[in-house]
Amino acid sequence: MRTSFSHMSTVVNSNFAVNSKGIQHMTCLIVFCLQARKVELKTRKDTPDAGALQKCADFVHAFILGFDIQDAIALLRLDDLYVESFEIKDVKTLKGEHLSRAIGRLSGKAGKTKFAIENSTRTRVVIADTRIHILGSFANIRVARDALCSLILGSPAGKVYSKLRTVSSRLAEKF
């Protein structure tokens, strides 16, 4: 798995944490090649199944995208978690100040809007420049993506909050 220069520093700084968690949960080896800027994954003799390697790859990928270690570990433990990524330009073509305002609407004042979306949909959201990454179950990702897309398109935060309230109560009734 190749990583960019900006993400390589976070990977190297948390080398021990990522390596110990990956080995502990899935018995896979995680090797960091600094010169090639790659993260290599290998199975061991005591690796339970071949699916463990894919789970470790998802774990490292989520960590490189910017999710916390605890959120990435949830990918190792639970089967129905996914990571979905999209760009703001996939929703609407924005440039200059319009793009900056859209990113500001997504975050909200002091991250309030982002945290409200995360808490009501039980997902984790990473906003990295113009890319948005969402970690959660399939249905919850869809709800969070719809809320984020409506913010990108210019909906006021209050309208999105009220829509999230109704959708999250409907999701709570399902479970």
Q: Does residue 126 have a pLDDT over 90?
A: yes
Residues 101 and 123 in one domain: yes
pLDDT of residue 16: 44
- Residue 39's identity, in one-letter code, is V
- Which of 20, 49, 77 is a domain's end point? 77
Range of the domain at 144: 82-174
Inter-CA distances, 27 with 31, 59, 60, 85, Å? 13, 13, 14, 27
Same domain for 95 and 148?
A: yes
Each residue's pLDDT tens digit, 21-80? 555 666 777 777 777 777 778 777 877 777 778 888 888 888 888 898 888 888 888 889
* DSSP letter string, 57-71: HHHHHHHHHT--HHH
The mean per-residue pLDDT over the stretch 119-146 comes to 93
**Burial letters for 71-91: b for 16+ Cβ neighbours within 10 Å, e otherwise?**
bbbbbbeeeebebeebebeeb
Domain identity same for 68 and 88:
no
Paired tokens of 140: 């919850």
Give Cβ neighbours of residue 134 (< 8 Å, ≥ 6 apart): 83, 84, 85, 123, 124, 125, 126, 141, 144, 145, 148
Q: Are residues 89 and 53 both part of a single domain?
A: no
| CATH number of the domain within which 13 lies | 3.30.1370.10
